[in-house]
Structure 1
Amino acid sequence: MLVAVDHVQLAAPVGSEDLLRAFYVDVLGMTEIPKPPALAARGGCWFRAGPVELHLGIEKDFRPARKAHPGLRVTDIAVCAARLDARGAPVRWDAGVPGRHRFHSCDPVGNRLEFLV
């Protein structure tokens, strides 16, 4: 039945698109992809890196996801952590899952993100 996750949707506050672009493109190295015209009028941004798509949608009464999060696999976790840390994003290492090397961080609007190998 299910074969893959097509995308993950996260919420963001009104007017945060430039912050999101700076983080997802400049820090994480994703590419912004155009939203369909009917959806573009709602604001927000969509990003892709390889098969990974993150959609950031605007919510008027935004509250960041502090527990729910996407788990993003990276090629070099130490380089990823250093890059986030150098740009002021929090890096919290977590050894709670045996056999997984991972940490959590937040995007500039406070959404929780997990990075792992």
Structure 2
Amino acid sequence: MAIGVAQGLTYLHEECSKKIIHCDIKPQNILLDENNNARIADFGLSKILMMDQSRTLTDIRGTKGYVAPEWFRNTKITAKVDVYSFGVLLLEIVSCRRSLNDLENGDELSVLTDLAWDCYTEGNLIL
């Protein structure tokens, strides 16, 4: 499934007649066809770029937990925002955790990317 999503993003970003930034890559927007091939769906937030354009300025788009840091810097975004979201999707697959989880007391939020960073800086990754 992950390879299929990566191939889909490559098509949108590099092979399509117009560059498309999906802006909302997450598990709910990945569908499986009858042969279990991954298909990227829900282009409601997507941004179409001209062929000579690699960056665009737009309002923040996406779903909490999958939004790339670039969105918060008020700068032009690139297709890398989809790559970031895809990375979060891969973290969910390998860790069997959701990108955002309410902790048991209900007051705090566990963020998967923060957990991954903490594990990396503490040297607690299994290689």
Q: What TM-score does the superposition give when structure 1 sets the normalisation length?
A: 0.25
Between structures 1 and 2, the one with greater helix share: 2
Between structures 1 and 2, the one with greater strand share: 1
If asked which structure has higher relative contact order (CA below 8 Å, sep 6+), I would say: 1
Structure with greater Cα Rg: 2
Q: What TM-score does the superposition give when structure 2 sets the normalisation length?
A: 0.24
